[in-house]
Amino acid sequence: MEPGCFPQGGEIAAEDKGRRENKVWYLKISKLALAIAIIRSKPPGKSCKEYTEHLAKIVSEQDFDWKSKVEALEAEIFRLRQELLLNKICKRVCVENGKPGGKAETLLDEECINPVSYPSQLEDSGCDVSDDYAFNSLGAASDFQELEQTVDTSKRWLEIVPPLNLCCASKEKSLTVPLQFFQHLLEIRKLSERGMLQANFTELEIDSFTTCNSLSQLLDGLTVFYNSPKFPVSSFLNEAVCVLIRLVTDTKLSNHVLKKCFRKLEEFMKNLIQIILRNSSVNRFQALNAVSNTLVLLGRNSILRNSLMSLLLSELQQFAEQMLQAYQIQAMYDITQYENISSLFMVLEQLLQYETEESNIPDSGYDGEKKIKFLKNVDQIILYLSDEFPLFSLYFWKVSALLNSAQIQID
C-alpha cells in the first residue's frame, strides 16, 4: 500500500479540532438566535426574563407529558411481554370435549381467599396480642390450606392466556399487573397438573427478565404495604400474599423461579426482618404478626428456609451480643428492638420445627459458622441476662435447644 493513503496523526488531530470549533460556533449561533427570537416575540408588559421563564415552564411541562407517555408505553410493553411469556409456557390445550390434542373452552376454578375481618383492638393501645389477630388466616403454616378456598366462578378459558386487567385502586395499582401475571401462571400450572394442557415452565428461566421483574414488582408492592400497613387490609392485598406463597411453595414453579429470582426473594425477607425490628408504633403488634406469618409461610420452601434461618441467626446473635455488652457496661439498649425481637424468635422456632419434621433433608444451609457462633456463647448470655431479661434468655435457650435437636434428628 502506498504511503499517504491514510491520514497522518497530525491531520486527524486537526480535523478533530476543526469539528470541535464548528460545534462551539454552532452552539453560540443557536443561543444568539434563540435570544433574538425571544426578544422579538416577547409580549408587551413582560420582561425578557419573565418571558424566558414562562417558555421554560411550558417546555418542562411538555417534557413531563412525554415522560408520562413513555412510562405508560413501557408499562404496556412489559404487560405484553408477560402475555407473550404465558403463551410460550402454555402452547396448546389438550382436551376438546374429552378428546386429546385439540383447543377448546375449559372451565377453570379460580383460587382466591375471603376478605379478612379485623378486630376492634386494632384501634386501641395495641397491647392485645391474642391469637385472634387480623392475619390469623395467614398464620400457622399447618393451616396453610385454609389460605385458599376454591370458589366456582364458571370463568371460561376462552383464550389460552386472557388479557390482563389493569383496573385497580390507585394505591394498589403497582401490584395489579404482577399479581395477575402470577395468577395466570398458577392457573396454567393447575390445568397442566390435571392433564388439561401442555406447559413448558422452563420458559420462566429463558425469559428471566420478565419473570424477575414481575416478581420484583410484586415484592416491592408488598414491602411498601408492610412498611405502613392500613387496616382493615383489602382482600386484594391478602390475595397478593396468597399468590406469593403459592408460587414459592409449588415445587414445579419455585424450582424455575428461584434459579433466577432468589436474590430478590432474599432481599424481601431481609426487608421484612428489618420492618419487624424497626417498627415503633403503638399499635404495632397486629402488623408484626402479619409480617412474621409471611416469613413463616415463605419458610415452607426449603431453599428459602435455609436462607431465612441464616438471616435470623445473624440478627439474633448480633442483638444478643449488644444486650450482653449493654449489661456489662450498664449502658442503654434499644427497648423497641427488645420488644420486637420476640417475633424473630417465634419465626425461627417454627422454621426449626419444620426442619425437625423434614428429617429426610441431608444437610441444612444454615449450619456452619453462623450456627456455631450462635451456640458458642449461649451459656454466657443466659447466665448474665437471665435475671434482668428472663423472657429473652428463655427464648434464646429454647431456640438453641431446637437447633441442637434439629441437627440430631437430621443426623
- SS3 string of 196-248? CEEECCCHHHHCHHHHHHHHHHHHHHHHHHHHCCCCCCCHHHHHHHHHHHHHH
Which pTM does this prediction carry? 0.69
| Of residues 345, 354, 274, 344, the one with CA closest to residue 306 | 354
pLDDT value at residue 11 = 62
pLDDT value at residue 249 = 92
Which amino acid, one-letter code, is at 264? K
pLDDT value at residue 96 = 45
Query: How far lies 218's CA from each of 2, 81, 212, 247, in Å?
Result: 65, 16, 10, 12
Q: Report the 10 Å Cβ neighbour count for 25.
A: 10
**Angstrom distance (rounded) from CA 179 to CA 238:** 11
- DSSP class of residue 111 equals E
**Angstrom distance (rounded) from CA 320 to CA 338:** 10
**Angstrom distance (rounded) from CA 288 to CA 276:** 6
**Angstrom distance (rounded) from CA 243 to CA 241:** 5
Tens-level pLDDT at each residue, the chain (411 residues): 455 554 555 666 677 777 788 888 888 888 888 788 878 788 887 888 888 888 887 777 666 677 778 888 888 999 999 999 999 998 765 544 444 444 433 333 333 333 333 333 334 444 444 333 334 434 333 333 433 333 232 233 334 444 444 344 445 777 899 999 999 999 999 999 888 888 999 999 999 999 999 999 999 999 999 998 887 888 888 899 999 999 999 988 999 999 999 999 999 999 999 999 999 888 888 899 999 999 999 999 989 999 999 999 999 988 988 888 888 888 888 889 999 999 999 999 999 888 877 765 544 555 567 777 787 778 888 888 888 888 888 888 888 888 877 655 555
Query: How many residues are there in the chain?
Result: 411
